[in-house]
Amino acid sequence: MSTVHPISLYNTLSRSVETVTPVDGSQTIRMYSCGPTVYNVAHIGNMRAFVAADVLQRVLRTVGGYEVRWVMNITDIDDKTIRDSSETSDCWLPAMGSRAGDAHGDLRTFTAYWMQEFLHDIQTLGIRQDHLAALPRATDYIQPMQQLVVDIFNAGYAYVSQGSVYFNVGAYAQQHAYGRLYTIDREHFREGVRIDADEYDRESVSDFVLWKAQKDGEPAWDLHIDGQVLPGRPGWHLECSAMSHELLSPFPIDIHTGGVDLRFPHHEDELAQCCAGYHVPDQSHFWVHNEFLEVDGRKMSKSLGNYYTLRDLLDKGFDPLDIRFALLSAHYRTVLNFTFEGVRAAAAARRRVQEYIWDLVDRTDGYEVVDADAPNPLQEVFQELANDVHTPKALAALHTFINVHPVEEMDEHEAARVLYAFGLLNSVVAVWTAQPRPEIEIPDDVLDLADARWEARLAKNWAEADRLRDALAALGWHMKDGKDGYDILPLEPGT
């Protein structure tokens, strides 16, 4: 059964939808995702970025028919990891196993802890580690980062000032386009102004730091450049340029992903560094950016304090797969407003599909078809996924399919064919199971209440039926009424 379709994808670089074909003519897509900064627990807004990248790479595999070499970096050295690992050292780090007073050791230990938390969270959200070819930690790639600083310097696009090395945006912009991913107003160029912070606003395009001079007590490595030794550490943008080159070169790679906030300065500067230091016209062919998860119209973020972590939501009783499904309910390029109600709606929608899959499993009763030429019954669903990973349209097409094709009307062979297609779909969406329906033990008092409510309904005693419905809900159950009978089901989590 073929699912292969040409994949189209919006490219921030060209501002248009283009067809994906591997740049090197092989069958492998090389994809780099800017990963987390591991100084704290990631929030569910960050998770939108990683789930979006995951679904994209799954679409490329299952719908595009490609191999994918997917790399996601771990930023374990930047302003925030340094700040928090030094602040944490007294109370937390001994418990994490660090030796006191060792800046390198503290940083590695501190960030290793948050990296493990991150890996656990993404796994809980259905991101498979075996889909990732590498999860490079920045501090393991200091040497190639230093080499890139030297190469940029030798090409004439960097200078040393007070122990740091800066990228000379003015000199670069005379030879290359700057502002390819994010249109920059010329009047915002501030020639000769230097910025040390890893993150800066869009209103001030200035020389950004490639190599930061060591401050007291900070971890540092020696950079040999221009006859000097500069103890310091890499800037954030530099890290991704060097790691993507180390693990995925030659440039351009096929796809580079991140949230829209990374377009500028992070991705613009990554791109400029690569062009300047590696002498290539492009770092990546596609640049793919997901929109924000918002809360009441504002980006979910640590600094605004309007965030939920995965743990917060699990503690409220939500199922992680419902959270994944909720994140897929909007197209990755539109803003998604986060609400508990939205996750509950996703839970109900996911459950409807799961019930259908269980009906198919019951209907086929172990019967399997493996017919390579059979038409794919979910053709339209796959088509929508191939169309710029349009998950909401794909899910709408899926619900239409379910409504139009009741399992009761299928024979064993037909049910097996449909079940097979659902399995392929689930290798992209990854929220359902084809294991047989779990047996649910329903307590006697719940059975009695349900029986009484059914009788009350038949007698059209609506007030009594409602009272019994509430009594069932208080025990964590609800009834799904049919024409001739009912099912008793546990209430969805989070309700």
Q: Which residues bind ligand AMP (CB under 6 A)?
A: 34, 36-37, 45-46, 48-49, 258-259, 261-262, 290, 292-293, 299-301
Contact 180, 270 (CB under 8 A): no
How many angstroms from the chain centroid is the CA of residue 310?
13
**340 class by beta-carbon count within 10 Å (0-12 exposed, 13-18 middle, 19+ buried):** middle
In the complex, the smallest distance separating the C-beta of residue 82 from ligand AMP, rounded to whole angstroms, is 15
Residues facing residue 373 across a β-bridge: none
Determine the Cα–Cα distance for residues 342 and 370; give it in Å rounded to an integer. 37
Query: Please, which residues have CB within 8 angstroms of residue 235's CB and are 6 or more apart in sequence?
Result: 198, 208, 209, 210, 211, 212
In the complex, the smallest distance separating the C-beta of residue 330 from ligand AMP, rounded to whole angstroms, is 11
Determine the Cα–Cα distance for residues 157 and 453; give it in Å rounded to an integer. 77
Degrees to nearest 5, angle at CA 189 with 188 and 190: 110
In the complex, the smallest distance separating the C-beta of residue 44 from Zn ion, rounded to whole angstroms, is 20
Choose the contact partner of 46 out of ligand AMP, Zn ion, none; CB within 5 to 8 A by kind. Answer: ligand AMP
The single-letter DSSP state of residue 309 is B
In the complex, the smallest distance separating the C-beta of residue 32 from ligand AMP, rounded to whole angstroms, is 12
* Positions in 233-262 near Zn ion (CB under 5 A): 240
In the complex, the smallest distance separating the C-beta of residue 302 from ligand AMP, rounded to whole angstroms, is 8
In the complex, the smallest distance separating the C-beta of residue 342 from ligand AMP, rounded to whole angstroms, is 14
Nearer to ligand AMP, 50 or 141 (CB): 50
Determine the Cα–Cα distance for residues 283 and 277; give it in Å rounded to an integer. 11
In the complex, the smallest distance separating the C-beta of residue 347 from ligand AMP, rounded to whole angstroms, is 21
Query: Please, which residues have CB within 8 angstroms of residue 157's CB and are 6 or more apart in sequence?
Result: 167, 168, 171, 172, 276, 277
Angle, helices 391-404/340-364, rounded to nearest 10 degrees: 40
Choose the contact partner of 248 out of ligand AMP, Zn ion, none; CB within 5 to 8 A by kind. Answer: none
Choose the contact partner of 421 out of Zn ion, ligand AMP, none; CB within 5 to 8 A by kind. Answer: none
Closest residue to ligand AMP using C-beta atoms: 259
Nearer to Zn ion, 240 or 253 (CB): 240
Choose the contact partner of 285 out of Zn ion, ligand AMP, none; CB within 5 to 8 A by kind. Answer: none
Choose the contact partner of 72 out of ligand AMP, Zn ion, none; CB within 5 to 8 A by kind. Answer: none
Choose the contact partner of 299 out of ligand AMP, Zn ion, none; CB within 5 to 8 A by kind. Answer: ligand AMP
Binding footprint of Zn ion, residue count (CB under 5 A): 2
Choose the contact partner of 30 out of ligand AMP, Zn ion, none; CB within 5 to 8 A by kind. Answer: none
Which ranges constitute the DSSP H helices of 249-309?
Answer: 268-278
The answer to whether 34 contacts Zn ion (rule: CB under 5 A) is yes
Q: Which residues bind Zn ion (CB under 5 A)?
A: 34, 240
